[in-house]
Amino acid sequence: MDKLTVKRPIVVYKDAAATEKDDIVREFPLTIFINHKEILTIVCSPDHLAELGVGFLLSEGIVQNLSDIHAIELQEDEGFLNFVLDETAALPSGFLRRNIASCCGKGRAGLYFISDAKQVRAVPSDVQFRSEHILRAITLLEERSDVFRCTGGVHNAALSDINIENEPLVLMFEDIGRHNTIDKLIGAAFLRSVDVKEKYLVFSGRITSEIVIKAARANISLIVSKAAPTDLAVELAEELNLATIGFARKDRFNIYSHPEKIRIR
């Protein structure tokens, strides 16, 4: 946690008294290069930077297989991350060099997004997920969100296994950007060759169309969130054979797409 937070003296006023509190989440600019050509800068939490970069490349459709990446060169102190890909590797049509802030927007052009969505294939999965396991996973996500409890300044995402006898949360990441948590998660799963067929995404943030695209490109067929989905996210999820669950709490949730994938006890 020390890497993700910084201690600063502040004054908290409550009940007519002032107290000190000093844990603040860090914000870090990471510039990504492909074959030493600058592509973009992402504002993120300063951990698991290679996983974040790999997840971003997967989400954008720039790489599909581990063999597509010949080398990962991280200069952490400088905030530089270079990926060595085939010289023939091409960015998607319409891809623009841009900055990605830690807020919800990504600054991409509308036409590029429409093209991006049309290129995504439906998730080839008929796996069913059990309601009691989903509720257990969302509870564990909240319980293990250490940086959020300390600072209130991050999102979190985890990959959960449907086998209830296994450790439910296979991977978990926290970041100031909700998109970044997903990229770190799918990047780590990709680098570790984790089979995601019987796993699903558990998430603290709002489910938008971009989150659905990231999950679909990683072949994840269920997103469970503590927050709400957008209408476009639900429409895309229906088309991409992906179940979406919002407002997940300890004893309830709402199913917005592909309810047949959820086994209600």
Assigned domain for 4 exists: no
One domain for residues 252 and 133 = yes
One domain for residues 112 and 140 = no
Residues classed as catalytic: 104
Q: What are phi and psi of 190, to 5 degrees?
A: -65, -50
CA distance 186 to 59: 9
Distance between alpha carbon 34 and the CA centroid of its chain, in Å? 21
Q: Which of 86, 118, 150 is the last residue of a domain?
A: 118
| Number of domains observed in the structure of the chain | 2
Whether 173 contacts 198, CB under 8 Å: no
Whether 26 contacts 45, CB under 8 Å: yes
Assigned domain for 161 exists: yes
Assigned domain for 53 exists: yes
Assigned domain for 137 exists: yes
pTM for the full predicted model: 0.88
DSSP alpha helix (H) spans, the chain? 49-59, 110-118, 131-143, 146-151, 178-191, 209-217, 231-239
One domain for residues 186 and 150 = yes
One domain for residues 138 and 231 = yes
One domain for residues 256 and 134 = yes
CA distance 173 to 51: 10
**Residue 20: exposed, middle, or buried by beta-carbon count in 10 A (0-12, 13-18, 19+)?**
exposed
Assigned domain for 193 exists: yes
Q: Which of 68, 94, 118 is the last residue of a domain?
A: 118
CA-nearest of 246, 190, 241 to 218 is 190
Q: What are phi and psi of 77, to 5 degrees?
A: -60, -35
For the chain, the straight-line distance linking the first and the last C-alpha, in angstroms and rounded, comes to 38
Assigned domain for 3 exists: no
**CATH at 151:** 3.40.140.10
One domain for residues 217 and 253 = yes
Assigned domain for 105 exists: yes
Q: What is the pLDDT of residues 50-75, one digit of tens each?
A: 999 999 999 988 999 999 999 999 99
**Residue 248: exposed, middle, or buried by beta-carbon count in 10 A (0-12, 13-18, 19+)?**
buried
CA distance 229 to 226: 10
Q: What does the pLDDT profile of the chain (265 residues) look like in tens digits? A: 678 898 888 887 777 676 676 788 999 999 999 999 999 999 999 999 999 999 999 998 899 999 999 999 999 999 999 999 987 776 765 555 555 555 544 444 443 444 456 678 999 999 999 999 999 999 999 999 988 988 888 999 999 998 766 678 999 999 999 999 999 999 999 999 999 999 999 999 999 999 999 999 999 999 999 999 999 999 999 999 999 999 999 899 999 999 999 998 7
One domain for residues 104 and 137 = no
One domain for residues 142 and 69 = no
**CATH at 103:** 3.10.20.10
One domain for residues 142 and 233 = yes
- The pLDDT value recorded for residue 231 is 95
Task: Find the domain containing 189 and state its range.
Answer: 129-263
- The pLDDT value recorded for residue 85 is 95
